[in-house]
Amino acid sequence: MGGARDVGWVAAGLVLGAGACYCIYRLTRGQPRRSGGRRLRPSRSAEDLTSDSCDDVLNAEQLQKLLYLLESTEDPVIMERALVTLGNNAAFSANQAVIRELGGIPIVGDKINNPNHSIKEKALNALNNLSVNVENQIKIKIYIKQICEDVFSGPLNSAVQLAGLRVLTNMTVTNDHQHMLKSYITDLFQVLLTGNGNTKVQVLKLLLNLSENPAMTEGLLRAQVDSSFLSLYDGHVAKEILLRVLTLFQNINNCLRMEGQLATQPLFSKGSLFFLLYGEECAQKMRALVYHHDVDVKEKALTIIPKF
């Protein structure tokens, strides 16, 4: 028992400085380094880990200590910092596999049920980085339902909602798990229409993933969507949103063509996305966008016009 406790306290030292390092890490992630890559060091003492640069990548032994700490601690501060450190390290492909092999995904996944919203957010951020690995997705998919519930029942535009949407976006990059979101499509459109700019962009990234899969086309077109959706096709809408809603329409058209069929009205009820996209009001908006000042928007609109 004394040995296990010692391991826990050593790991606690590992994460004491993680919170301060997190913002620096996010700012520097993805930037080129003169040294030719990040350093993967052998096991070090807790003192070294807390005083050295958080730009280093932890090795398997250190990650194992960290996972033990995360699983055993009840201290919310330690738990949150451990999740931040794991999330940072899960950004690297080698560690994505190591964390899975150490049994870390269920340990992290368990924390999304924590009532502390900050801990829940950090757990979702860690799962988001882990979900880049396709093998990890097989284990992460069991959390999709819970993540959806948090996204659609939690506070609008919250950090938890955005973190959950990012995980779902990663999980739908391939077609393998998209079917698990079929019953939430109407909810996605609701968040799209009520969320702020950042939330809108994140929801659209997810919807674009779904719209590229012909197997999801009917579910998208059947979704009950408020008529205010068409306001997203107004010329004054921010380009990052306008281009994405145009691409959504374009993808749906492409999937219908690939299936060798045109969308037919009797299959869809009034109030559905089908009635909005293929109605006269939307056609008028597409014709107006042909004269949009932005070339990219204009080209997208021109590809859609013939469908009317």
Summary mean pLDDT of the chain: 85
- The letter for the amino acid at 132 is V
Q: For position 36, what pLDDT does the model report?
A: 41
Q: For position 212, what pLDDT does the model report?
A: 97
What 3-state class would DSSP assign to 272?
strand
Q: For position 258, what pLDDT does the model report?
A: 80
Average pLDDT estimate for 102-114: 98
- Residue pair 213/181 in contact (Cβ under 8 Å)? The answer is no
Average pLDDT estimate for 41-69: 67
Reported confidence tier of residue 262, pLDDT bands at 50, 70, 90: low
Of residues 307 and 268, the one with the higher pLDDT is 268
Quick one: which H or E segment has residue 136? helix 134-140
- Examine the pLDDT at 83 and tell me if it is beyond 90: yes
Reported confidence tier of residue 252, pLDDT bands at 50, 70, 90: very high
- Examine the pLDDT at 13 and tell me if it is beyond 80: no
Reported confidence tier of residue 31, pLDDT bands at 50, 70, 90: very low
- Residue pair 121/159 in contact (Cβ under 8 Å)? The answer is yes
- Residue pair 56/39 in contact (Cβ under 8 Å)? The answer is yes
Q: For position 108, what pLDDT does the model report?
A: 98
Q: For position 266, what pLDDT does the model report?
A: 52
Proportion of the chain above pLDDT 90, given as a percent = 75
- Examine the pLDDT at 19 and tell me if it is beyond 80: no
Reported confidence tier of residue 305, pLDDT bands at 50, 70, 90: confident
Average pLDDT estimate for 143-162: 97
What's the rounded Cα separation, in Å, for the pair 250 and 245?
9
- Examine the pLDDT at 229 and tell me if it is beyond 80: yes
Q: What is this structure's pTM?
A: 0.83
Distances from the Cα of 228 to the Cα of 5, 34, 80, 218, 277, angstroms? 57, 50, 39, 21, 12
